[in-house]
Amino acid sequence: MALCLCAKASAQNDTYDVFIPISKYIRQGNADKLSAWFSDNLEISVFSESNETSRAQAKQIMKSFFETYTPRTFDIEHTAGRSTMKYALGMLKAGGEVFEVTIFVSIKDNTYRIQQLKIQKAE
């Protein structure tokens, strides 16, 4: 129950940046806390292998990724959005590699949920 509470925030509050906590958990390599933001079902793509998964499966995919590629830094470089969806593009330095991370977050009933998370090697 406590994990679900962290994903709740006032969507009406324009000063709230949902990507601050999400970025923190990616930077920390914390799949458990990151998964609290996942939708019940979401699309997760690591190295172009895309899967429609449950929250639990996505958590395991991210846990495995973070074990292989220990995060060093993660910075959001661009954000955009509208009333029901927000988008962020960030750069993750992990395990001696650089990755481009794309995050789509939906907003429904004042709750933010990650609908899509894509990780690919930066070129």
Distance CA 98, CA 53 (A): 25
Strand 111-121 to strand 97-108: parallel, antiparallel, or no bridges (unpaired)? antiparallel
Q: Helix, strand or coil for residue 22?
A: helix
Alpha helices in 6-123 (DSSP H): 19-28, 31-35, 55-68
Q: Which residue has the tokens 């806390």?
A: 33
Name the pLDDT band for 2 (thresholds 50, 70, 90): very low
Cα–Cα nearest to 107, from 8, 2, 4: 8
On the question of pLDDT at 17 being above 60, the answer is yes
> What do you get for the CA distance between the two ends of the chain, in Å?
40
Name the pLDDT band for 47 (thresholds 50, 70, 90): very high
Considering the chain, what is the average pLDDT of its residues? Answer: 89
What is the DSSP track for 88-114? EEEEEEETTEEEEEEEEEEEETTEEEE
Distance CA 70, CA 81 (A): 29
Q: Where do the domains of the chain lie, and which CATH numbers do they carry?
A: 15-121 (3.10.450.50)
- Sheet order of strands, 97-108 included: 49-54, 38-46, 111-121, 97-108, 85-94, 71-82
pLDDT in tens, 51-90: 899 999 999 999 999 999 999 999 999 999 988 999 999 9
